[in-house]
């Protein structure tokens, strides 16, 4: 057997990733990206004549944990119908043994791309929309567990979609036996993939709550609240989450307080629901007091003045005019 | 608080303030009670009219213009009765109307939507 | 279920089992070892060839593999580290990099490896080169399996098409229609045969890899590296 050139090796590597769609109703169009558990491909549904996204595991295997996870994601998405969640059309196993899931192909921008041109109020409103499908899922007992900017897409019509529910779990349940897998954050390159291996924790570092990072037996929806706070931090600072910079004067204190409360190390100290967090954001946008931020008298006055600036100015002008009339009116 | 009541309240307060400033005019001090009552009633009437307008028309610009107009008109009537001091009466009166017009558009609860 | 693993067989006390397993492991690793020591230590081709023989001889004598545990790391990282250690020990002891008298001699085409080294674009570290060669070796072994599988099933034409289209370095590549003419087939047959061959190639490569790992977890890690999936 002759040796293989580097180019041929690279081509064979790429060929090996191509899913075998024989026996399915799909025609492969092109590679899209790495997904949570494998790769995502653009395909054509030959029956309905529409483009779809196929999420395909890289590997097959007996009683495969990733197979179970992919199927779980498909079932969760199928049971949760919400405008903010990508509809799933189909799931199964390919001829080469790899599990796949067929869902709506979303054309649009990632969160990072979209917020580049947004002002602060628009970013905050966007976060409210990100929280909607989360709140919906939480109300039905599901936790996402891998919320991060890469998993938020803004579609062509401005719809906000929370993607990649591959690590989602049902309610406040314990991690199943053997489910101690690490997911390390990956470079968002074409060939990057979140890897799971025994002995680690599910989620993505940086956006993962402390209890999830520790591999705690019980995680609940508040782990998603932590991630939502991390996303808000990202949207406010433009950089990966961590502590907000000490001298980040560009981030208003009430918003910083919202982030800190959402990302509190103790789940009991966080917002207990996505709705609670977005309520504070709405209050901030409306110039109302934010529950996470106890303001002083001066700050409160300033906020009231800012909110009712025009009315205050008008009344001040009126009273000033009145005083002037009193002082100079008889001259 | 609905818009009409807001207009009434604001008109009354500003009208009362208007009347009270007459105390600084020695000639008018003797009739201060009547001036305050009259000014307050003028404010209430203006406030109600402007509040009703705000319930019907949801436009900040139009609300302000309407308020200014009502304030100026009522102030003009008072000035006519005083046979003078047009500027000193109409300017504050117009301002009161403007403020009430802004406030009733910006604040206050509008009418409930009719269920069909 | 007992996992058939070359590594486990190479740790066997039975000399025959061990020998067969080491030969199979050497088939996957001799090129990476040879090119690695040539690049890293800049030694002459003859010395690198002798070193490679000595290395696998020591492997056969259980010197290295006894201490290998898959839970602690990948086999290829382990072998590379062993190669480094052996080289440094020999250099420290001022021994000539020659294989010992009476040690096992594997039939390896070092001249071909040296020619490849001469023509390859050297980019990246010697460690990267080791990994790249490992991928190349696994693919070559997978291809051998594929060819044997196709021959046994009377599908040699499938393999030949695959060889013609996917293994040639042509630029531009021939079209399916051209291949159909060349092989006297319908174009749809070319599509189907290539799809079959690629599917089988993937299976053969992954089967080969599975034999070279000792656990499912190790297999997954190595498979993702083989597929070119980058993990940080």
Mean pLDDT of A77-101: 89
Q: What is the reported pLDDT for C67?
A: 80
Mean pLDDT of C138-158: 95
CB of A240 within 8 Å of any CB in chain C? no
What's the gap in Å between the CA of A127 and the closest CA on chain C?
A: 28
Are residue A247 and residue A302 in the same domain, yes or no?
Answer: no
Whether B8 maps to a domain, the answer reads yes
Whether A290 maps to a domain, the answer reads no
Q: What is the reported pLDDT for B114?
A: 61
Q: Do C224 and A18 touch (CB under 8 A)?
A: no
Whether A181 maps to a domain, the answer reads yes
Whether B111 maps to a domain, the answer reads no
Average pLDDT, chain A: 82
Whether B41 maps to a domain, the answer reads yes
User: Is the pLDDT confidence value at A254 over 90?
Assistant: yes
User: Is the pLDDT confidence value at C162 over 70?
Assistant: yes
Answer with the residue of higher pLDDT: A77 or A149: A149
What is the domain-level CATH number for residue A123? Answer: 1.10.510.10
Least confident of A78-82, A233-237, C117-121: C117-121
Whether A1 maps to a domain, the answer reads no
Burial code (b: 16+ CB inside 10 Å, e: under 16) for C92-115 equals eeeeebebeeeebeeebebeebbe
Q: What is the reported pLDDT for A183?
A: 29
Specify the 3-state DSSP secondary structure of A160: strand
Whether B114 maps to a domain, the answer reads no
| Residue of chain C minimizing CA distance to A15 | C198
Last residue of a domain, one of A104, A131, A150: A104
Q: What is the reported pLDDT for A57?
A: 87
Choose among A3, A16, A184: nearest Cβ to C116. A3
For B54-104, the pLDDT digits (tens) are 999 999 999 999 999 999 999 898 888 877 778 878 888 898 999 999 999
Q: Do A318 and B106 touch (CB under 8 A)?
A: no
Chains linked to C by 3 or more Cβ pairs within 8 Å = A
For C66-96, the pLDDT digits (tens) are 788 777 788 888 899 999 998 988 888 765 5
Q: What is the reported pLDDT for C122?
A: 67
| Residue among A49, A67, A48, A44 at smallest CA distance from A57 | A67
Which domain does B9 fall in, by range? 3-106
Are residue A121 and residue A207 in the same domain, yes or no?
Answer: yes
Chains linked to B by 3 or more Cβ pairs within 8 Å = A
Last residue of a domain, one of A82, A104, A126: A104
User: Is the pLDDT confidence value at C9 over 90?
Assistant: no
Choose among A1, A16, A198: nearest Cβ to C143. A1
> How far does chain C reach from its first CA to its final CA, in angstroms?
32
Answer with the residue of higher pLDDT: A157 or A75: A157
Whether A291 maps to a domain, the answer reads no
The domains of chain C are located at 6-226
Are residue A166 and residue A244 in the same domain, yes or no?
Answer: yes
Q: Do B95 and A318 touch (CB under 8 A)?
A: yes
Residues of chain B with C-beta less than 8 angstroms from the C-beta of A311: 99, 102-103, 106-107
Q: What is the reported pLDDT for A290?
A: 93
A152-155: strand order across its sheet: A108-110, A152-155, A160-162
Question: Over the Cα atoms of chain C, what is R_g?
Answer: 20
Least confident of A263-267, A275-279, B93-97, C97-101: C97-101
Query: Cis bond leading into C172, ω under 30°?
Result: yes
Whether A229 maps to a domain, the answer reads yes
Q: How many domains does chain A have?
A: 3
What's the gap in Å between the CA of A318 and the closest CA on chain B?
A: 6
Q: What is the reported pLDDT for C11?
A: 80
Answer with the residue of higher pLDDT: A310 or A124: A124
Q: Assign residue A71 a region (left: φ > 0; alpha: ψ between -120 and 50; beta: otherwise).
A: alpha
User: Is the pLDDT confidence value at A67 over 90?
Assistant: no
For A171-210, the pLDDT digits (tens) are 543 333 333 332 222 222 222 223 233 334 566 778 999 9
Least confident of A69-73, B7-11, B57-61: A69-73
CB of A182 within 8 Å of any CB in chain C? no
Calculate helix-pair angle for C187-211, C176-183, nearest 10 degrees: 90
Q: What is the reported pLDDT for C96?
A: 53
User: Is the pLDDT confidence value at A232 over 90?
Assistant: yes
Whether A245 maps to a domain, the answer reads yes
A26-34: strand order across its sheet: A26-34, A38-45, A50-57, A99-104, A88-93
Of all residues in chain A, what percent carry a pLDDT higher than 90?
44
For B40-59, the pLDDT digits (tens) are 998 999 999 999 999 999 99
Are residue A176 and residue A66 in the same domain, yes or no?
Answer: no
Mean pLDDT of A124-129: 96
For A259-269, the pLDDT digits (tens) are 999 999 999 99
Strand-pair category, A88-93 with A108-110: unpaired
CB of A3 within 8 Å of any CB in chain C? yes
Residues of chain A with C-beta less than 8 angstroms from the C-beta of B92: 318, 321-322, 325
Q: How many domains does chain B have?
A: 1
Which domain does A129 fall in, by range? 108-285
Choose among C135, C144, C232: nearest Cβ to A185. C232
Backbone torsions φ then ψ of A240, nearest 5 degrees: -60, 150
Q: What is the reported pLDDT for C71?
A: 78
The model's confidence at residue A225, banded by pLDDT at 50, 70 and 90, is: very high
């Amino acid at each position: 057997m002759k040796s293989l050139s580097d180019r041929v090796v690279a081509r064979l590597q790429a060929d090996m990733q191509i899913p075998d769609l024989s026996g399915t109703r799909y025609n492969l169009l092109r590679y899209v990206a790495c997904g949570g558990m494998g790769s995502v491909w653009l395909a054509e549904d030959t029956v309905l004549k529409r483009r779809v996204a196929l999420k395909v595991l890289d590997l097959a295997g007996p009683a495969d944990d990733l197979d179970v996870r992919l199927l779980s994601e498909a079932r969760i998405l199928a049971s949760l119908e919400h405008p903010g969640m990508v509809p799933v059309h189909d799931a199964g196993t390919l001829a080469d043994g790899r599990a796949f899931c067929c869902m709506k192909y979303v054309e649009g921008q990632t969160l990072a791309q979209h917020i580049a041109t947004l002002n602060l109020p628009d970013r905050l409103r966007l976060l409210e929309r990100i929280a909607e499908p989360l709140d919906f899922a939480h109300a039905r007992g599901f936790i996402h567990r891998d919320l991060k900017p890469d998993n938020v897409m803004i579609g062509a019509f401005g719809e906000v979609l929370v993607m990649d529910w591959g690590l989602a779990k049902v309610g406040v349940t314990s991690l199943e036996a053997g489910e101690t897998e690490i997911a390390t954050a990956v470079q968002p390159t074409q060939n990057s993939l979140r890897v799971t291996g025994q002995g680690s924790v599910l989620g993505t570092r940086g956006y993962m709550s402390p209890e999830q990072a520790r591999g705690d037996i019980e995680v609940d929806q508040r782990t998603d609240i932590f991630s939502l706070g991390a996303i808000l931090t990202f949207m406010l600072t433009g950089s990966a989450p961590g502590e907000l910079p000490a001298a980040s004067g560009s981030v208003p204190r009430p918003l910083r307080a919202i982030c800190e409360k959402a990302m509190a190390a103790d789940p009991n100290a966080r917002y207990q629901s996505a709705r609670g967090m977005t309520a504070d954001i709405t209050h901030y946008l409306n110039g109302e007091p934010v529950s996470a931020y106890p303001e002083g008298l001066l700050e409160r006055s300033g906020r009231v003045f800012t909110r009712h600036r025009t009315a205050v100015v008008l009344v001040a002008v009126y009273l000033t005019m009145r005083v002037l009339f009193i002082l100079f009116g008889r001259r | 608080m609905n818009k009409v009541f807001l207009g009434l309240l604001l008109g009354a307060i500003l009208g009362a303030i208007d009347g009270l400033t007459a105390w600084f005019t020695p000639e008018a001090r003797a009739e201060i009670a009547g001036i305050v009552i009259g000014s307050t009633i003028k404010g209430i009437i203006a406030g109600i009219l402007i509040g009703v307008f705000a319930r019907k028309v949801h436009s900040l610009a139009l609300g302000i213009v309407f308020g200014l107009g009502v304030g100026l008109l009522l102030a003009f009537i008072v000035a006519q009765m005083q046979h003078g001091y047009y500027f000193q009466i109409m300017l504050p009166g117009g301002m009161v109307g403007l403020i009430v017009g802004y406030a009733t558009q910006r604040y206050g609860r509008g009418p409930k939507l009719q269920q069909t | 279920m007992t996992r058939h693993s070359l590594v486990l067989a190479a740790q066997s006390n039975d000399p025959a089992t061990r020998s067969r397993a080491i030969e199979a492991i050497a088939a996957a690793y001799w090129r990476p070892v040879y090119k690695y020591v040539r690049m890293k230590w800049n030694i002459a081709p003859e010395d690198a060839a002798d070193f490679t023989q000595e290395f696998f001889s020591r492997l056969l004598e259980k010197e290295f593999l006894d201490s290998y545990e898959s839970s602690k790391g990948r086999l290829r990282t382990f072998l590379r580290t062993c190669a480094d250690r052996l080289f440094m020990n020999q250099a420290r002891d001022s021994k000539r990099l020659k294989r010992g008298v009476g040690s096992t001699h594997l039939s390896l085409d070092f001249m071909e490896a040296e020619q490849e080294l001469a023509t390859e674009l050297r980019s990246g570290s010697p460690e990267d080169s080791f990994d790249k060669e490992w991928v190349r070796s696994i693919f070559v072994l997978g291809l051998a399996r594929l060819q044997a599988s196709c021959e046994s099933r009377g599908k040699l034409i499938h393999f030949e098409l695959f060889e013609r289209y996917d293994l040639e370095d042509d630029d531009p590549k021939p079209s399916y229609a051209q291949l159909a003419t060349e092989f006297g087939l319908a174009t749809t047959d070319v599509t189907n045969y290539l799809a079959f061959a690629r599917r089988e190639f993937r299976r053969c490569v992954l089967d080969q890899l599975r034999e070279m790992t000792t656990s499912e977890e190790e297999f997954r890690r190595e498979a993702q590296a083989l597929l070119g999936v980058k993990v940080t």
